[in-house]
Amino acid sequence: MTFALLPLGLIAIYQTNAVVDEATRLSHASLLDRTERAAARERELLQRAGGATEGLAAAVLPVIEDSSACSVLLKAFTEGQNPFTFAAFITPVGEMTCASDGEARDVSDRWLYLKARQTAQLSFALGRDLLGEGGSFLLATSPVQREGILLGYVSIAIPHKVSAIKSGKYWSDAQGIQFVTIDAQGEILSSSVPEQQAEQILPVSVPRRDLQALTGGTFFEEARSGGERFFAVTEILPGQVSVVGSWPVENAMSANPASLMTLAFPVLMWLAGISVAILGLQQLVIRHLSALRRAMRRYALGEREDPRLELVNPPREFEEAQQSFNRMVVILSEAERRRELDLEEKTILLREVHHRVKNNLQLVASIMNMQSRGAQTPEARRMLSQLQRRVRGLATIHRSMNTNPDVTTVDSRDLMQALISEIGSMNAGTGQDISIETDLAPVPLTQDQGVTLSMLVSEAMTNAVKYLGVPEGGRPEITVRLRAPAENWLELEIINTKGQPLVEKEEVIQGTGIGARLMMAFAAQLDGTVETHETEDSFTYRLVFPVVAGAEPPAKQTNGQDQDAAEPAA
């Protein structure tokens, strides 16, 4: 419906706009005509003054040389049946040699002479204090020539009060029009208002000299007196004098017979069509699509309490979409339920596997313990003790995985706390209270990394306890730190004190070096870098390794001189 009405609406707007433009053009032409008629008497007076100066210029030619005869002629002219109160002849150098009042004057610095000399044709100007009476005159001046030679100028004067009386007072009072007449130089010659107010009725943004260029035009503009008005400019003397009419805006608009509703009606019809189409689209399509989108979004976000879609009076197409969505929800919900059951069963089975492996490893460790108690030689007891410790380390890994909510990872803090507790029991029988300080970061590790790290920590802690010493004035102490120096990187640090050994040298059995080789192998499996540092009071073992593959190693921090030995022989 909207697209069907659009061409009709465009045609109606075009035709209405054409009618409005024509009506506006006729209205403006009517206002121009009214402005010209308002200044009709002004035009008549200016035409009469122009004709009189041209006739008087021809009449004074025989008496130019005789100033007395010239003055008599001019006086007779002003005493006739005309509104002119003064007439004079001016030489080309600005000397008024004869005048209707019989007095000679120098007008070389007066505007009427300068303007006449500049234009070299009929001109109009305002003259003030010309006769010494403080009066204001409208002067018409024409050149006097004989065979193309300029002999001077003839000027006649009309009192401004006469011009005001003859102006279109009816138009000004009845229709609110105000007007001024201006010449080509932008000089105000007369107006329908007092002379002091004539400047205020002109447009504020158009210079007076440019007004005559707007002849035949109309425009809205703010007047210099304030407030917007309608202006019309038309000629009353072609090329010489124009009249600028100023109308109140409401009078100018009332002269326009076209109404805005004629233009707005097709637009309103088209908007009504669009509204009907949008309303129909909303009721038949959009609201059902919105309900379907909300249902899909709720289901995607995991809301399963009431996932079914219920549309209110849907069209046949949306009813089919509703049925398809509800069937899809039932199928997906059932598949999710079965997948959750399968996952729960697999998790239970995996925990059971870890539990059984842990129990079996502990059983093996117990059997080794029994074998160790029955061994005849120290070497056999030491070998069985080392094997028992390593088996218990594996059992600790499976116990952590069995208790961790995420069966695929193991928490580094929990794992190492359990290992340290197991190995800390090795201090029994030394007669000293061994202090073990820990600073462990909780980082999830994979099963492979967890097993490898636990075996490495077990070997390193065994060596730390084996070679632990009592420093002078202190007590034996082992410090274990696991920190994250950079993203996806871990740093393991094991420090044991040195000094008076807890175990007599003769009781220490010479090792086979398998512990050191195991630690090197475990560090290689972790893609780690090993550093050792030994002082008089302590021995430090440091391992830096990535948590995930592809990580950049952090900057090394040297803490003294590194030694080539990975660890004392176990």
The CATH T-level fold of domain 44-162 is Beta-Lactamase (3.30.450)
User: In sequence order, which residues have a C-beta less than 8 Å from that of residue 377 and are 6 or more positions away?
Assistant: none
Regarding pTM above 0.75, the answer is: no
Q: Specify the pLDDT at position 382.
A: 72
pLDDT value of residue 531 = 92
DSSP state of 215: T
What stretches of 186-282 show up as alpha helix (H) in DSSP?
208-211, 249-254, 260-281
**Residue 303: C-alpha distances to residues 174, 267, 323, 342, 552 (Å):** 79, 47, 19, 21, 42
The domain segmentation of the chain, as residue ranges, is 2-39+167-254, 44-162, 411-570
Task: Quote the pLDDT of residue 101.
Answer: 84
| Per-residue confidence (pLDDT) for residue 549, from 0 to 100 | 47
CATH number for region 411-570: 3.30.565.10
Structure tokens at 565: 């030995």
Q: What's residue 494's pLDDT?
A: 92
Q: What residue ranges of the chain have pLDDT lower than 70?
A: 1-6, 8-9, 19-20, 23-24, 27, 128-135, 160-176, 251-263, 265-266, 400-407, 424-433, 502-512, 548-570
Right CATH for 2-39+167-254 from 3.40.50, 3.30.450, 3.90.550, 3.30.1330: 3.30.450
* pLDDT, tens only, 149-176: 888 999 888 876 544 434 444 444 445 6
Alpha carbon distance, N-terminus to C-terminus of the chain: 93
Q: Do domains 2-39+167-254 and 44-162 have the same CATH topology?
A: yes
pLDDT of residue 316: 86
